[in-house]
């Protein structure tokens, strides 16, 4: 059975991530899997600028570095274990039936990729350790994760409030169509009030598609408020969000080519950076 | 892709920049000293170190490894420079680069697995000995000043790091060079300096095509040198990459490193530099100083050229004694001292491989020959060991006057004779059965010695039956690809 993969690292955001995961797990009726990865910090041995190499320089250095790594890893391993135990207990208390935890060495995104077959939804905080207090900075893994993950990713801000309504940004492009379809097929957002929002762009017959999308959602039993607005894409979306007290945003990831993003940036990332509500990014 | 680049270049900026500077300072004396070993102007080695370090920072396969002009390569080009001059060295450097790129595309990086640990140790030790020996001309027929200066230099290098607080902030080899230069200038000593060794760079390197005739004759002159340079360069780089992998607990891309080094050498050749490769000592210094990413290699090259171009008047006055002290440190740091104590505990065969590698290199001054002999010896010892994994059991049935031989184990060229000798042809029997179900015939030698055995028995008048021939000869077929599949391997060794 596929699971809700929840990434925890022990930073301030962890409790919000746990709450969101519990909500998603109950909503989708899927087990929870807490994932903690031990990433290697590469900087050490940097206090020796002598440039001198003596007898057995290599073995001495190897011993020294192995010892440092060993100490650090042991502590990190223990801390991670305790963290996983803590969040698992929290989830069980909150009423989730099946809770598992997994600890892996190596890069977070690689670890998520390795358990791709088990994945239903990935829940992750918008930024982890090293970003505490600095709101606008996105975590270093988010972009890579969004590019590589083949499953929906829910990005959680500092605090989590159970959402009662969600907004889906619809631009008529293929990625938006896919996102729409996945909202309908999935179960996470059923029962929430849906705001279907489109910002005018140069996509041909955007209007017709928009109406079609609304009908599609309504046909599946969603309670839809549809709005067609004009202006700068994220400015207007943010304004709409504020005005209607939206609790969650759904977006299709990366509609543009990589080259274009390199020069102009990506709407998905801009929204992620500025948004203070959970976002579900669909591929 | 972009993420990769970011991680390789920018994940460790502070550590990489500081380590890069330390490495650059240590590279300057080495590049000069290696140019002198090769018999060219110091500027050739310095340009080469700059080009190789900067280019390989972008195209290499092992972030955090330092490549530049090296002693191993310099030693190979001595006769080429002596007999044909600098232009041919530049041409040979270009060809070396081309050969290394080919090696990268042919994925020869993987061939490193045939080079055993003992050969690697022998290579490293031989390199250290050669670097040390190359310093001896500077220490013979000189005044007592030079000995005092060298000893003082070594003292500074090894003792300065023990001074608390500042000891680990300033590279001690640099301090040794600065201190000895000041002493030499202020006392107005009449000893040899870097300026006496040849031209130093006063501009950035400029693009130039080697001035050699493009014909077969040139190719035949440079090809043997280029082949040796390519092999030794790749060997040392692959070895250094394993060392850096081990130290930093990360992985590298061997074939990318082969191609990268080829490109770097072509770059060096076009800008008036000599061929180079990865440096064991410098890479250790880099890791020790906190360098992990590509940025450290790049900074090392950049700082080196800036220092040399702007400080050439000072570099000129560095006494050779200071460089000798630095090079002695490099050779001591490179030598694998634990290999001496290991001689007693390691098996005799691996010690012989190690010592022969060293002996051949010291005798021929060519690391490639040493490695070749080492690999050959290691292979011979290995086949001898595997060859002993063969046994022939026999069983006599008096009633039928029948003898059954059961062959167990590995039959190939090294054990074929032992196989033949295991049969008793003098015995008068009527029926001979040779059971090969539990034997492996690895090559044609094994098959033909079986033929010989059968013919001999038939000549003595015995009827020979062979059992399990198909199973035994399955291994003769060259099925290298299949050996990665656990099922195939199981099939091959079924019944053992």
pLDDT tens, position by position, B449-494: 888 898 888 888 888 988 888 777 776 755 444 444 566 556 555 5
pLDDT at res. B480: 42
Query: What confidence tier does B209 reach under pLDDT thresholds 50, 70, 90?
Result: confident
Decide if A231 is inside a domain.
yes
Pick from A39, A50, A147 the residue to mutate for testing the B interface (most B CBs within 10 Å): A50
Q: How many CB pairs under 8 A join A and B?
A: 106
- The ipTM is 0.72
Residue B18 has its nearest CB partner, among A42, A49, A52, at: A49
Pick from A40, A41, A43, A49 the residue to mutate for testing the B interface (most B CBs within 10 Å): A49
Domain match, A236 and A121 both: no
Rounded Cα distance between A37 and A107, Å, is 7
Residue A69 has its nearest CB partner, among B23, B249, B284, at: B249
Split into its structural domains, chain A has a count of 2
pLDDT at res. B483: 42
Q: What is the token pair recorded at B117? A: 């640990």
Query: What confidence tier does B220 reach under pLDDT thresholds 50, 70, 90?
Result: very high
Region A243-257: mean pLDDT is 78
pLDDT at res. B485: 56
SS (H, E, C) chain B: CHHHHHHHHHCCHHHHHHHHHHHHHHHHHHHHHHHHHHCCCHHHHHHHHHHHHHHHHHHCCCCCCCEEECHHHHHHCHHHHHHHCHHHHHHHHHHHHHHHHHHHHCCHHHHHHHCCHHHHHHHHHHHHHHHHHHHHHHHCCCCHHHHHHHHHHHHHHHHHHHCCCCCCCCCHHHHHHHHHHHHHHHCCCCCCEHHHHCCCCCCCCCCCCCCCCCCHHHHHHHHHHHHHHHHHHHHHHHHHHHHHHHHHCCCCCHHHHHHHHHHHHHHHHHCCCCCEEECHHHHHHHHHCCCCCHHHHHHHHHHHHHHHHHCHHHHCCCEHHHHHHHHHHHHHHHCCCHHHHHHHHCCHHHHHHHHHHHHHHHHHCCHHHHHHHHHHHHHHHHHHHHHCCEEEEEEEECCCCEEEEEEEEEECCCCHHHHHHCCCCCCCCCEEEEECCCEEECCHHHHHHHHHHHHHHHHCCCEEEEECHHHHHHHHCCCCHHHHCHHHHHHHCCCC
Pick from A91, A121, A156: which residue ends a domain? A156
Domain match, A135 and A189 both: no
pLDDT in tens, A210-222: 888 888 888 888 8
Residue B337 has its nearest CB partner, among A43, A55, A262, at: A55
Q: Does B165 touch chain A (CB under 8 A)?
A: no
Pick from A131, A156, A181: which residue ends a domain? A156
Percentage of the residues of chain B whose pLDDT score is greater than 90: 39
Q: Does B17 touch chain A (CB under 8 A)?
A: no
CB-CB under 8 Å, A43 with B12: yes
Residue B11 has its nearest CB partner, among A42, A45, A49, at: A42
Q: How confident is the prediction for chain A on average, in pLDDT?
A: 83
pLDDT at res. B479: 47
Domain match, A220 and A150 both: no
Task: List domains and CATH numbers for chain B.
Answer: 8-337 (no CATH), 388-492 (3.30.750.24)
Q: Does B242 touch chain A (CB under 8 A)?
A: no
Q: Among the listed ranges A33-37, A54-58, A126-130, A257-261, which one has the minimum average pLDDT value? A: A257-261
User: In this model, does residue A43 exceed pLDDT 90?
Assistant: no
Note down the domain range covering A204: 165-282
pLDDT in tens, B244-271: 998 888 888 889 999 999 999 999 999 9
pLDDT at res. B358: 95
Phi/psi of residue B411, nearest 5 degrees: -110, 120
User: In this model, does residue A265 exceed pLDDT 80?
Assistant: no
CB-CB under 8 Å, B285 with A51: yes
pLDDT in tens, B423-435: 988 888 889 999 9
pLDDT at res. B354: 94
Domain match, A175 and A151 both: no
Rounded Cα distance between A134 and B373, Å, is 61
Domain match, A143 and A175 both: no
Decide if A56 is inside a domain.
no
Look up tokens 């040979």; give the residue.
B92
> Long-range contacts: B356-359, Cβ < 8 Å, 24+?
B356/B122, B357/B118, B357/B119, B357/B122, B357/B123, B357/B125, B357/B126, B358/B122, B358/B125, B358/B126, B358/B129
Q: What is the token pair recorded at A9? A: 């690292």
Decide if A48 is inside a domain.
no
User: In this model, does residue A181 exceed pLDDT 60?
Assistant: yes
Q: Does B284 touch chain A (CB under 8 A)?
A: yes
Q: Does B241 touch chain A (CB under 8 A)?
A: no
Q: Does B297 touch chain A (CB under 8 A)?
A: no
Query: What confidence tier does A254 reach under pLDDT thresholds 50, 70, 90?
Result: low
Q: How confident is the prediction for chain B on average, in pLDDT?
A: 87
User: In this model, does residue B82 exceed pLDDT 50?
Assistant: yes
pLDDT at res. B495: 47
pLDDT in tens, B111-133: 888 888 899 889 889 989 988 98
Q: Chain B 20-49, CB below 8 Å of chain A: which residues?
A: 22-23, 25-26
pLDDT at res. B241: 92
Domain match, A20 and A139 both: yes
Decide if A224 is inside a domain.
yes
pLDDT at res. A85: 93
Decide if A23 is inside a domain.
yes
Q: Does B171 touch chain A (CB under 8 A)?
A: yes
Pick from A156, A173, A196: which residue ends a domain? A156
Query: What confidence tier does A52 reach under pLDDT thresholds 50, 70, 90?
Result: confident
Q: Does B83 touch chain A (CB under 8 A)?
A: no
Domain match, A248 and A113 both: no
Q: Among the listed ranges A85-94, A134-143, B285-294, B346-355, which one has the minimum average pLDDT value? A: A134-143
Look up tokens 């770059």; give the residue.
B267
Query: What confidence tier does A58 reach under pLDDT thresholds 50, 70, 90?
Result: confident
pLDDT in tens, B5-57: 777 788 788 888 888 988 898 888 889 889 988 999 999 999 999 999 999 99
Decide if A26 is inside a domain.
yes
Region A214-243: mean pLDDT is 84
Decide if A10 is inside a domain.
yes
Q: Which CATH number belongs to the domain containing residue A142 in this structure? A: 3.40.50.620
User: In this model, does residue B214 exceed pLDDT 60?
Assistant: yes
Q: Does A45 touch chain B (CB under 8 A)?
A: yes
Nearest CA in chain A to B330: A53
Residue A50 has its nearest CB partner, among B161, B336, B338, at: B161
Q: Which residues of B touch A65 (CB under 8 A)?
A: 247-249, 287
User: In this model, does residue A47 exceed pLDDT 70?
Assistant: no
pLDDT in tens, A89-130: 999 998 888 899 999 888 888 889 888 888 999 999 888 766
Domain match, A149 and A194 both: no
Domain match, A119 and A192 both: no
Is B105 within 8 Å of B261 (Cβ atoms)? no
User: In this model, does residue B390 exceed pLDDT 80?
Assistant: yes
Nearest CA in chain B to A259: B2
CB-CB under 8 Å, A46 with B158: no
pLDDT in tens, B288-314: 888 888 999 999 999 999 988 888 888
pLDDT at res. B487: 62
Nearest CA in chain A to B284: A58
Domain match, A223 and A268 both: yes
């Amino acid at each position: 059975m596929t699971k809700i993969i929840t990434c925890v690292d022990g930073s301030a955001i962890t409790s919000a991530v746990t709450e969101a995961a519990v909500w998603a797990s109950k909503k989708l009726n899927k087990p929870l899997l807490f994932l903690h990865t031990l990433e290697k910090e590469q900087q050490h041995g940097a206090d020796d600028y002598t440039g001198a190499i003596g007898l057995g320089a290599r073995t001495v250095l190897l011993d020294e570095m192995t010892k440092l790594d060993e100490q650090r890893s042991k502590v990190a391993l223990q801390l991670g274990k305790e963290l996983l135990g803590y969040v698992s207990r929290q989830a069980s208390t909150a009423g989730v039936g099946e809770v598992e935890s997994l600890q892996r060495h190596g890069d977070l995104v690689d670890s998520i990729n390795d358990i791709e077959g088990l994945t239903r939804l990935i829940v992750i905080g918008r930024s982890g350790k090293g970003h505490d207090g600095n709101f606008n900075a996105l975590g270093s893994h988010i972009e890579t994760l969004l590019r590589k993950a083949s499953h929906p990713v829910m990005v959680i801000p500092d605090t989590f409030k159970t959402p009662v309504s969600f907004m889906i940004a619809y631009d008529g492009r293929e990625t938006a169509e896919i996102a729409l379809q996945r909202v309908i097929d999935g179960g996470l957002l059923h029962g929430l009030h849906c705001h279907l929002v489109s910002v005018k762009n140069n996509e041909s017959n955007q209007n017709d598609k928009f109406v079609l999308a609304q009908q599609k959602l309504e046909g599946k039993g969603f309670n839809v408020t549809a709005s067609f607005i004009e202006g700068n894409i994220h400015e207007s979306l943010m304004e709409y969000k504020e005005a209607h007290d939206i609790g969650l945003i759904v977006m299709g990831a990366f509609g543009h080519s990589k080259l274009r993003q390199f020069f102009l940036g990506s709407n998905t990332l801009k929204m992620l950076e500025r948004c203070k509500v959970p976002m579900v990014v669909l591929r | 892709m972009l993420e990769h680049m970011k991680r390789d270049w920018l994940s460790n900026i502070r550590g990489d920049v500081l380590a890069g500077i330390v490495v650059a300072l240590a590279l300057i004396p080495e590049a000069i000293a290696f140019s002198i070993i090769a018999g060219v102007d110091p500027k050739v080695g310095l340009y080469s170190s700059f080009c190789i370090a900067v280019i390989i920072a972008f195209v290499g396969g092992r972030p955090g490894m330092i490549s530049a002009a090296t002693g191993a390569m310099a030693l190979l080009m001595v006769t080429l420079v002596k007999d044909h001059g600098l232009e041919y060295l530049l041409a040979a450097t270009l060809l070396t680069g081309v050969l290394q790129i080919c090696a990268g595309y042919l994925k020869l990086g993987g061939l490193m697995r045939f080079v055993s640990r003992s050969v690697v140790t022998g290579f490293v030790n031989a390199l250290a000995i050669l670097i040390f020996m190359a310093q001896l001309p500077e220490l013979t027929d000189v005044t007592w000043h030079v000995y005092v200066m060298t000893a003082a230099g070594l003292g500074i290098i090894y003792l300065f790091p023990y001074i608390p607080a500042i000891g680990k902030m300033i590279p001690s080899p640099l301090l040794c060079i600065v201190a000895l230069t000041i002493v030499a200038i202020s006392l107005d000593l009449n000893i040899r300096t870097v300026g006496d060794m040849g031209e130093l760079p006063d501009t950035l390197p400029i693009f130039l095509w080697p001035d050699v005739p493009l014909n077969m004759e040139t190719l035949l002159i440079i090809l043997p040198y280029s082949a040796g340079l390519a092999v030794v360069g790749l060997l040392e780089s692959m070895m250094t990459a394993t060392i850096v992998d081990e130290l930093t607990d990360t992985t590298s891309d061997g074939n990318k490193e082969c191609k990268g080094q080829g490109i770097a050498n072509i770059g060096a050749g076009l800008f008036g530099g000599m061929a180079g490769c990865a440096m064991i000592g410098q890479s250790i210094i880099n890791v020790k100083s906190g360098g992990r990413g590509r940025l450290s290699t790049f900074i090392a090259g950049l700082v080196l050229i800036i220092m040399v171009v702007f400080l050439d008047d000072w570099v000129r006055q560095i006494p050779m004694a200071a460089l000798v002290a630095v090079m002695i440190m490099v050779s001591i740091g490179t030598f694998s001292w634990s290999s001496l104590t290991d001689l007693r505990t390691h098996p005799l065969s691996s010690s012989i491989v190690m010592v022969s590698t060293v002996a051949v290199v010291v005798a021929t001054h060519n690391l490639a020959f040493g490695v070749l002999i080492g690999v050959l010896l290691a292979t011979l010892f290995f086949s001898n060991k595997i060859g002993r994994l063969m046994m022939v059991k026999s069983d006599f049935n008096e009633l039928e006057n029948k003898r059954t031989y059961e062959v167990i184990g590995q039959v190939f060229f090294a054990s074929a004779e032992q196989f033949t000798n295991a049969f008793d042809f003098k015995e008068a029997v009527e029926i001979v059965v040779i059971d090969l179900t539990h034997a492996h015939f690895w090559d044609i030698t094994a098959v033909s010695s079986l033929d010989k055995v059968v013919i001999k028995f038939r000549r003595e008048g015995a009827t020979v039956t062979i059992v399990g021939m198909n199973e035994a000869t399955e291994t003769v077929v060259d099925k290298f690809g299949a050996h990665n599949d656990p099922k195939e391997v199981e099939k091959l060794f079924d019944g053992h």
